[in-house]
């Protein structure tokens, strides 16, 4: 099994190019099946969750061709199966967007219950409530979510919980419903806006994405388009925190600074300098992080996906910090791994981490529990004294393109190793 071997201690310094947003690309690829015409999508990240959904789409008759590494051509004019039950789709969350897309276009969809990172119970009741409000009969049978309608009729839907996935999924289906759909208490994340912009570029009529009320006037048909996905806010935030944790100087390029505001605010609060230009942000950390408090919230609040990253920074800060997770009930599973590197963190009530800063991590053998925690643990190891090995890195590859190569470009001592011999070679080389 491949692992990362890391020798910590180097401040990360330099520029890093941010890829397209995985969590925008997944729904946009699914939504691209709603037209029979050809769609070109640029800035697609080369990560394993995207490969999986593209393979599944090929398997049901969608023509998919990478014209470049980050550009995909899709044509869904010959879909031959509306039942998506392959094993790969059980593993990722984004598979549920095929439900909204197929229900919208074909008024029939059957998709395996979605998986994704084990960070909480991750209900999908709001998706199902939205589809039902549009007139679909929806039920779960043999592990598949099945949705069927004679016709979809626009409706007024209030989301009981702010959900990125449910907002996007219902918005996708409502695009081809009859009449107007209003989604209230919708999620406002940049990728919700990106999906709406993509659909509008295909001829949809969606207004208000990015606010908490989205209005969708159903249209009869969508057409082909060319569209570029927004930069990945979470990948950018990860490298910004990598600068903070390793006392480095990193410029993230190809970002939208407005999307990064809550992350920038916290970096300033913990004592980093942040310089902003049109499409890049530079983070300079010349001293150890300072203590603070943070609570994860839906956008524009501090993202839950960044929670492990800020915890890794605060565990090095002098004094006591508190991190409260308000989105998922099980997102501190990585804390025991961080403890192996010397962190002093108590998790209370499942949602609050009380962190006493330790000043320095020490290298250890670490196992990754989920995608974002995995990136955070790698960053911790890069700042630690001595060597670490990180296993289960397949989680990281789901959402970060060329993660270790980008880190290495910034001066990190990190290598993919497969055997004990490879690891010993790495130790000798970096010793």
Q: Give catalytic residues, as residue numbers.
A: 117
Interaction pattern, residues 290-319, with ligand EPZ; x per rule: CB under 6 A:
-------------xxx--------------
327 touches ligand EPZ by CB under 6 A: yes
Residues numbered 362-421 forming contacts with ligand EPZ, rule: CB under 6 A: 371-372, 399
Query: Alpha-carbon distance 270 to 292, whole Å?
Result: 7
123 touches ligand EPZ by CB under 6 A: yes
277 touches ligand EPZ by CB under 6 A: no
- Residue of the chain from 48, 56, 126, 262 that contacts ligand EPZ (CB under 6 A): 126
Q: How far is the CB of 393 from ligand EPZ (least distance, A)?
A: 15
Ranges assigned E (strand) in 239-357: 249-253, 273-276, 280-284, 293-295, 320-324, 344-348, 352-356
Non-local (6+) Cβ contacts of 349 within 8 A are none
Query: CB atoms < 10 A from the CB of 354, how many?
Result: 13
Q: How far is the CB of 147 from ligand EPZ (least distance, A)?
A: 14
Query: Alpha-carbon distance 344 to 353, whole Å?
Result: 10
Query: Closest-CB residue for ligand EPZ?
Result: 165
The nearer residue to ligand EPZ, 117 or 133, going by C-beta atoms, is 117
The nearer residue to ligand EPZ, 247 or 372, going by C-beta atoms, is 372
Neighbour-count burial of 223, counting CB atoms closer than 10 A to its CB (0-12 exposed, 13-18 middle, 19+ buried): middle
Number of chain positions touching ligand EPZ (CB under 6 A): 27
Q: Do residues 208 and 217 touch, judged by C-beta distance below 8 A? A: no
165 touches ligand EPZ by CB under 6 A: yes
The nearer residue to ligand EPZ, 114 or 248, going by C-beta atoms, is 114
> At CA 328, angle to CA 325 and CA 334, rounded to 5?
75
Residues numbered 25-44 forming contacts with ligand EPZ, rule: CB under 6 A: 26
Neighbouring-strand partners of residue 180: 217
Q: How far is the CB of 161 from ligand EPZ (least distance, A)?
A: 4
**DSSP secondary structure of 81-117:** --EE--HHHHH-SGGGHHHHHHHHHHSEEEEEPP---
Stretch that binds ligand EPZ, among 79-87, 132-140, 162-170, 200-208 (CB under 6 A): 162-170
Q: Do residues 250 and 51 touch, judged by C-beta distance below 8 A? A: no
127 touches ligand EPZ by CB under 6 A: yes
> At CA 244, angle to CA 241 and CA 245, rounded to 5?
90
Find the largest Cα–Cα distance for the chain. 67
Q: How far is the CB of 362 from ligand EPZ (least distance, A)?
A: 27
Neighbour-count burial of 339, counting CB atoms closer than 10 A to its CB (0-12 exposed, 13-18 middle, 19+ buried): middle
- Residue of the chain from 164, 230, 368, 380 that contacts ligand EPZ (CB under 6 A): 164
166 touches ligand EPZ by CB under 6 A: yes
188 touches ligand EPZ by CB under 6 A: no
Residues in contact with ligand EPZ by CB under 6 A are: 23, 26, 93-94, 117, 120-127, 161, 163-166, 187, 303-305, 327-328, 371-372, 399
């Amino acid at each position: 099994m491949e692992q990362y071997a890391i020798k910590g201690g180097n401040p990360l310094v330099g520029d890093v190019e941010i890829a397209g947003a995985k969590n925008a690309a997944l729904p946009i690829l699914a939504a691209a099946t709603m037209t029979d015409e050809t769609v070109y999508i640029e800035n697609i990240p080369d990560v394993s969750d995207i490969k999986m959904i593209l393979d599944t789409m090929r398997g049901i008759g969608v023509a998919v061709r990478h014209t470049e590494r980050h550009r995909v051509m899709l044509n869904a004019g010959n879909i031959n199966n509306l039942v998506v039950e392959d094993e790969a789709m059980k593993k990722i969350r984004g598979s549920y967007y095929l439900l909204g897309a197929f229900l919208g276009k074909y008024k029939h969809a059957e998709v395996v219950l979605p998986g994704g990172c084990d960070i909480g119970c991750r209900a999908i009741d709001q998706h199902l409530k939205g589809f039902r409000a549009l007139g679909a009969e929806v039920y779960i049978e043999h592990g598949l979510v099945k949705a069927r309608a004679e016709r979809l009729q626009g409706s007024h839907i209030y989301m009981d919980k702010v959900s990125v996935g449910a907002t996007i999924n219902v918005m996708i289906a409502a695009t081809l419903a009859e009449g107007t759909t209003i989604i209230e208490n919708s999620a406002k994340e940049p990728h919700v806006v990106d999906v709406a912009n993509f659909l509008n570029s295909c001829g949809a009529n969606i207004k208000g994405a990015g606010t908490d009320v989205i209005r969708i006037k159903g249209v009869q048909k969508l057409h082909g388009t060319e569209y570029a996905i927004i930069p990945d806010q979470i990948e950018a935030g990860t490298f910004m925190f990598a600068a903070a944790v390793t006392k480095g100087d990193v410029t993230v390029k190809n970002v939208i600074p407005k999307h990064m505001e809550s992350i920038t605010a916290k970096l300033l609060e913990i004592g980093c300098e942040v310089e902003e230009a049109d499409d890049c942000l530079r983070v300079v950390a010349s001293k150890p992080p300072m203590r603070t408090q943070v609570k994860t919230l839906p956008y524009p609040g501090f993202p839950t996906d960044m929670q492990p990253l800020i915890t890794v920074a605060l565990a090095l800060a002098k004094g006591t910090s508190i991190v409260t997770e308000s989105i998922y009930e099980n997102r501190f599973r990585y804390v025991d791994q961080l403890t192996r590197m010397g962190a002093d963190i108590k998790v209370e009530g499942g949602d609050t981490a009380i962190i006493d800063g330790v000043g320095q991590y020490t290298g250890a053998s670490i196992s990754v529990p989920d995608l974002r925690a995995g990136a955070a643990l790698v960053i911790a190891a890069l700042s630690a004294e001595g060597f670490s090995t990180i296993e289960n890195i397949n989680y990281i590859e789901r959402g970060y393109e060329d993660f270790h190569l980008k880190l290495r470009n910034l001066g990190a001592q990190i290598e993919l190793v497969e055997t004990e011999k490879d690891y010993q070679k790495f130790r000798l080389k970096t010793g």
